[in-house]
């Protein structure tokens, strides 16, 4: 093994003239926190609803004969909530101070970064990328919990044959809300916590490129959640998570909550993507050329690039839908020159790249940790990079395979069938790199490494079934069936969520200073994995039999498949609760971890734990790639000793030749 060499050069920093300090450090930010944000958000929402109610009536109708007055009031209420919440959390303090000519001092910046605030800093508008990473982790776990609860309600309904536990409209709303909650959660579950906490350290930076925008991105996400959750009390999303027009324009006012959520989340995603990409491009350590960038950084960069390009399409679709509903435009009203196909194209321009926005960071994280647990260089690093950017390029030309059955441009079906089948090639590159890295290796059987085998299994099943669905004649039979549901869950959950669990387990010691309990974490992981196979393999069978998706009642032919899927779903829930308990218990009282618990060579493993406020006392200079595992030397023997001690085996003698 050749060890990475890091050399440093110290430069004398010139004195920086500080602006005048006005009052205590932090100013108004000292009084802003999550509680003040909630209060101000609720107050401004109520005020906006009341004021707009005085100037609107329920008599005017939009082009789809929906009353405009109440839609204006609900829209104003949600906008008031988002604006009030962001004011209450302190998002506008910086711009206001700049406008008044009172720039932040060094003491203000230290306060804004959370210095000396204890645990309260996690409930405030804080700019330290490590705190933002923890905030993203908590929010993504809450979203996954909410989405998982809705999934349990869906499976409970389907597991009780010919009985209605829920009103059909409410059941449809559960399906739509579950879908979009899980999509949002999966988009942020890796890029949010690990992109913010790990990537800046991994590239040798002291913080993100735009720290205040970093804080803005997480709190915009938090502000976007209540409008989505509240839709269940205001009529719900009855048209699935895709909310096709013009049906969505005729839906109850709960639809506005969905639209405000997507618009707000779109701003959050754009800000986060620009920040991550700028940090990676402009703030890499000296000597970290693109051929020395860790593969996880490439995964985050590619995901951010796709999100930045394609998420605005989704956002535009909801801007237009909200406009049709509130100000009587007709983007999606065919009788007045609009087009429902415009909506479908805008929606699916994100709707398929979004799969790779979710999957790529998780798979890249697995590639990153594999080299550590296998003590081997990554098999064909350039092949992996080519696979990542091949996915980015081809993801732009596959969206129409979701529209085969709509009747839009039927002559385009076969070209898009070809492009969709072609994207399986760069995806296969990544699987081959994983298999090549595992070939003839001696794995260290900890939870992160064992999860790799689970994800490869899920990814192969999801990929093969996806090729079937990309074929026009087959899709004509499978379209709208439970087969489709099983396929995309194998990709989004089977590859995305299980990869995220492995990545969080791997970097948990760096983020919290404690090991994740390997025993209970592994039990939770494998219980969830077993339940996952039971749930969705059974759905493949139901889909092949012809069971449609999004139905409340079904023929008795599908009883057994649904009973099995419901049992499997509850097993998934039990496994996820065990894993969550392992995370919480380990975070509170787990075994203390050293700075580099697994002997990794990337930069985040070289800094102390807990990570210092500025990450590096002196910025590093990189002279080799981070995967220099090879012939034994004292460093590797020390790693072997640490591994043997953790596994209870006979430790190797450190220093042997």
Note whether 67 and 211 are same-domain residues. Answer: no
Q: Average pLDDT, stretch 620-624?
A: 90
pTM for this entry: 0.91
The dihedrals phi and psi of 120, each to the nearest 5 degrees, come to: -60, -25
* pLDDT-based confidence at residue 605 (cuts at 50, 70, 90): very high
Picking from 57-61, 85-89, 571-575, which range would have the lowest pLDDT averaged per residue? 57-61
Q: pLDDT of 207-220, one tens digit each?
A: 999 999 999 999 99
Residue 529: inside a domain, yes or no? yes
Dihedral of the alpha carbons of 105, 107, 108, 113, in degrees to the nearest 10: 130
Q: pLDDT of 365-379, one tens digit each?
A: 999 999 999 999 999
- Omega prior to 530 cis, within 30 of 0: no
Rounded CA-CA distance 642/655 in Å is 13
Note whether 182 and 60 are same-domain residues. Answer: no
Q: pLDDT of 307-358, one tens digit each?
A: 999 999 999 999 999 998 888 888 998 888 889 999 999 999 998 889 999 9
Q: Average pLDDT, stretch 94-107?
A: 83
Residue 512: inside a domain, yes or no? yes
Say if residue 5's pLDDT is above 70: no
Q: Average pLDDT, stretch 176-186?
A: 94
Q: What confidence score (pLDDT) does residue 383 get?
A: 93
Note whether 112 and 138 are same-domain residues. Answer: no
Residue 630: inside a domain, yes or no? yes
* DSSP 8-state class, residue 551: -
Say if residue 424's pLDDT is above 60: yes
Q: What confidence score (pLDDT) does residue 646 get?
A: 58
Domain of 273: which CATH number? 1.20.210.10
* pLDDT-based confidence at residue 12 (cuts at 50, 70, 90): very low
Q: What confidence score (pLDDT) does residue 74 get?
A: 93
Note whether 102 and 139 are same-domain residues. Answer: no
Element (H, E) at 320: helix 295-326
Picking from 53-62, 117-126, 194-203, 600-609, which range would have the lowest pLDDT averaged per residue? 53-62
Q: What confidence score (pLDDT) does residue 247 get?
A: 83
Rounded CA-CA distance 435/445 in Å is 16
Residue 10: inside a domain, yes or no? no
Q: What confidence score (pLDDT) does residue 11 get?
A: 43
Q: Integer distance in angstroms from the first to the last C-alpha of the chain?
A: 13
Which residues neighbour 534 within 8 Å (Cβ) at sequence distance 6 or greater?
564, 565, 567, 568, 571
Note whether 174 and 112 are same-domain residues. Answer: no
Cβ atoms of 192 and 259 within 8 Å: the answer is: no
Residue 12: inside a domain, yes or no? no
Q: Average pLDDT, stretch 143-151?
A: 95
Picking from 100-114, 166-180, 371-385, 573-587, which range would have the lowest pLDDT averaged per residue? 100-114
Alpha carbon separation from 326 to 66, 176, 233, 497, 524 (Å, rounded): 9, 22, 20, 37, 47
Picking from 12-16, 211-215, 536-540, 596-600, which range would have the lowest pLDDT averaged per residue? 12-16
Q: What confidence score (pLDDT) does residue 144 get?
A: 96
Note whether 610 and 569 are same-domain residues. Answer: yes
Residue 196: inside a domain, yes or no? yes
| Helix 211-230 / helix 168-188 crossing angle, nearest 10 deg | 170
Element (H, E) at 513: none
Mean pLDDT of the chain: 88
**Torsion sign (Cα): 346, 348, 349, 351:** positive
Note whether 322 and 360 are same-domain residues. Answer: yes
Say if residue 10's pLDDT is above 90: no
Note whether 455 and 524 are same-domain residues. Answer: yes
Residue 654: inside a domain, yes or no? no
Q: Choose one of 72, 87, 116: the last residue of a domain.
A: 116
Domain of 79? 32-116
Q: Choose one of 116, 150, 165: the last residue of a domain.
A: 116
**Torsion sign (Cα): 418, 421, 425, 430:** positive
Note whether 474 and 593 are same-domain residues. Answer: yes
Q: How many domains does the chain have?
A: 2
Note whether 86 and 177 are same-domain residues. Answer: no
Q: What confidence score (pLDDT) does residue 7 get?
A: 44
Q: What confidence score (pLDDT) does residue 13 get?
A: 44
- The DSSP-derived string for 367-387 is HHHHHHHHTS--TTHHHHHHH
Burial string for 610-649 (b: 16+ CB within 10 Å, else e) reads: ebeeebbeebbebeebbbebeeeeeebbebbbbbeebeee
643 vs 320 pLDDT, higher one: 320
Q: What confidence score (pLDDT) does residue 168 get?
A: 87
Q: What confidence score (pLDDT) does residue 108 get?
A: 84
* pLDDT-based confidence at residue 553 (cuts at 50, 70, 90): confident
Note whether 49 and 173 are same-domain residues. Answer: no
Note whether 173 and 99 are same-domain residues. Answer: no
Residue 5: inside a domain, yes or no? no
Q: Average pLDDT, stretch 176-192?
A: 94
* pLDDT-based confidence at residue 221 (cuts at 50, 70, 90): very high
Say if residue 653's pLDDT is above 50: no
Q: Choose one of 73, 89, 116: the last residue of a domain.
A: 116
* pLDDT-based confidence at residue 635 (cuts at 50, 70, 90): very low
């Amino acid at each position: 093994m050749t060890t990475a060499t890091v050399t440093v050069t110290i430069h004398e920093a010139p004195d920086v003239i500080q602006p005048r300090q006005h009052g205590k450090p932090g100013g108004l930010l000292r009084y802003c926190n999550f509680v003040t944000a909630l209060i101000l958000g609720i107050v401004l929402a109520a005020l906006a609803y009341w004021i707009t109610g005085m100037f609107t009536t329920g008599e005017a109708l939009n082009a789809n004969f929906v009353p405009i007055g109440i839609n204006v009031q609900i829209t104003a209420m949600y906008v008031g909530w988002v604006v009030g919440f962001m004011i209450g959390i302190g998002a506008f303090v910086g711009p206001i101070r700049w406008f008044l000519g009172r720039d932040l001092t060094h003491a203000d910046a230290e306060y804004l970064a959370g210095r000396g605030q204890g645990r309260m800093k996690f409930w405030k508008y804080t700019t330290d990328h490590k705190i933002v990473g923890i905030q993203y982790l908590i929010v993504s776990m809450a979203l996954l919990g909410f989405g998982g609860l809705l999934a349990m309600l869906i499976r409970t309904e389907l597991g009780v044959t010919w009985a209605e536990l829920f009103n059909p409209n409410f059941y449809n709303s559960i399906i739509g809300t579950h879908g979009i909650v899980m999509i949002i959660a999966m988009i942020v579950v890796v890029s949010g916590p690990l992109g913010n906490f790990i990537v800046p350290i991994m590239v040798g930076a002291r913080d993100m490129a735009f720290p205040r925008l970093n804080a803005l991105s997480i709190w915009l996400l938090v502000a976007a959640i209540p409008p989505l959750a509240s839709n269940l009390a205001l009529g719900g999303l009855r048209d699935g998570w895709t909310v096709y027009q013009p049906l969505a324009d005729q839906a109850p006012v709960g639809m506005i909550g969905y639209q405000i959520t997507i618009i707000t989340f779109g701003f959050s995603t754009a800000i986060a993507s620009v920040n991550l990409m700028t940090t990676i491009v402009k703030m890499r350590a000296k000597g970290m050329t693109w051929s020395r960038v860790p593969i996880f950084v490439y995964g985050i960069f590619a995901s951010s690039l796709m999100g930045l390009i394609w998420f605005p399409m989704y956002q535009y679709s909801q801007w237009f839908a909200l406009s049709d509903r509130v100000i009587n435009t007709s983007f999606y009203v065919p009788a007045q020159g609009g087009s429902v196909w415009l909506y479908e194209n805008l929606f699916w321009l994100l709707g398929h790249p979004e799969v790779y926005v979710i999957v790529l960071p998780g798979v890249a994280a697995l590639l990153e940790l594999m080299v550590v647990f296998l003590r081997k260089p990554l098999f064909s690093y350039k092949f992996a990079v080519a696979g990542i950017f091949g996915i980015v390029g081809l993801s732009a030309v596959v969206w129409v395979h979701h529209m085969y059955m709509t009747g839009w441009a039927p002559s385009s079906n076969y070209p898009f069938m070809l492009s969709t089948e072609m994207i399986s090639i760069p995806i296969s590159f990544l699987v081959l790199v994983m298999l090549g890295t595992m070939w003839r290796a001696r794995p260290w059987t900890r939870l992160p490494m064992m999860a790799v085998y689970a994800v490869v299994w899920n990814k192969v099943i999801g990929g093969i079934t996806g090729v079937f669905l990309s074929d026009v004649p087959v899709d004509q039979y499978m379209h709208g069936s439970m087969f489709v549901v099983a396929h995309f869950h194998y990709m989004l959950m089977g590859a995305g969520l299980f990869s995220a669990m492995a990545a969080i387990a791997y970097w948990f010691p760096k983020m919290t200073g404690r090991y994740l309990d390997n025993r209970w974490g592994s039990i939770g992981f494998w219980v969830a994995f077993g339940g996952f196979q039971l749930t969705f393999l059974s759905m493949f069978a139901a889909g092949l039999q012809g069971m449609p998706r999004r139905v409340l009642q079904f023929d008795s032919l599908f009883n057994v498949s649904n009973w099995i899927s419901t049992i499997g779903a509850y097993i998934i829930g039990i496994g996820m609760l065990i894993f969550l308990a392992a995370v919480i218990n380990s975070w509170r009282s787990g075994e203390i971890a050293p700075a580099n618990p697994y002997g990794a060579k990337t930069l985040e493993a070289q800094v102390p734990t807990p990570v210092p406020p500025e990450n590096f006392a002196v910025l590093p200079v990189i002279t080799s790639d981070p995967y220099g595992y090879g012939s034994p030397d004292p460093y590797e023997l020390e790693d072997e000793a640490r591994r043997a001690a953790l596994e209870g085996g006979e430790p190797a003698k450190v220093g042997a030749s």
